A and B are shown apart, each in its own frame.
Chain A
């Protein structure tokens, strides 16, 4: 099984906020990441959060980290059609990244 878990699908109306949730298992992870993948493309780093932070905001993106519950979330404000993609949560585990299965976000008009 996977160490990082995400819900598989999210449908959101254009202009609304999207919230993508993730749980992880390695409490020693120093960084947690969100990557975006558009169809047929590689992974684009969206944002990351250091484990001693609770929140990080970067323009339309807000990352919340609850270390006690090992829960990470990504909020996208004012979701646009260009935000339709697969979003991966990942934790750093020594030398490698451990990924969730990805959340497919569909933005509807």
Chain B
């Protein structure tokens, strides 16, 4: 992590509620990513942004939304349309090279 912060560490969602996960970076990286991790599986890409004010859907974007108004910030909203939101959510950034660096993660639980 180092330079990438995610908050909160744990988040609880009630039925029908939208919740927003924060990802902030001070690495001056242009690209940012959101991945979802389920037990026993690799990470799957939700959304990514290669530059401010631009973002694209990943492999599992349904039920999620993002914004990229600032270079430092890439918040992820889990909407009520996401029927199985319980997972560990990881934010990553990428600078000039190809390597992605990950934040510490947010664990989302459904009440």
Q: Which residues of A contact B (CB under 8 A)?
A: 2, 4, 8, 30-31, 33, 35, 40-45, 48, 88, 90, 92, 95-102
Interface centre among B41, B42, B43 (most CB of A within 10 A): B42
> Which one, B6, B43, B101, B104, contacts A45 given CB within 8 A?
B101
A-B contacts, 12 of them at CB < 8 A, read: A4-B42, A8-B40, A31-B99, A40-B107, A41-B105, A42-B4, A42-B103, A43-B92, A97-B43, A97-B45, A98-B42, A99-B42
B98 adjacent to chain A (CB < 8 Å): yes
Q: What 8 additional pairs, Cβ within 8 angstroms, besides A88-B43, A97-B100, A101-B42? A: A2-B42, A42-B103, A43-B43, A44-B102, A48-B99, A97-B92, A99-B42, A102-B42
B101 to chain A, nearest CB (A): 6
A65 to chain B, nearest CB (A): 15
The residue of chain A having its C-beta at the shortest distance from the C-beta of B4 within the complex is A42
B90 adjacent to chain A (CB < 8 Å): yes
With a cutoff of 8 Å between Cβ atoms, the chain B residues found around residue A88 in the complex are 42-43
Q: Mark B15-55, 1 if CB is under 8 A from A, else 0.
A: 00000000000000000010000001111010010100000
Q: Which residues of B contact A (CB under 8 A)?
A: 1, 4, 6, 33, 40-43, 45, 48, 50, 56, 58-59, 90, 92, 98-105, 107
> Which one, B6, B50, B90, contacts A95 given CB within 8 A?
B50
With a cutoff of 8 Å between Cβ atoms, the chain A residues found around residue B107 in the complex are 40
With a cutoff of 8 Å between Cβ atoms, the chain A residues found around residue B33 in the complex are 96
Whole-angstrom distance between the alpha carbons of A96 and B61 in the complex? Answer: 14
Whole-angstrom distance between the alpha carbons of A99 and B38 in the complex? Answer: 12
A25 to chain B, nearest CB (A): 13
Whole-angstrom distance between the alpha carbons of A65 and B76 in the complex? Answer: 36
Do A96 and B105 have beta carbons less than 8 Å apart? no
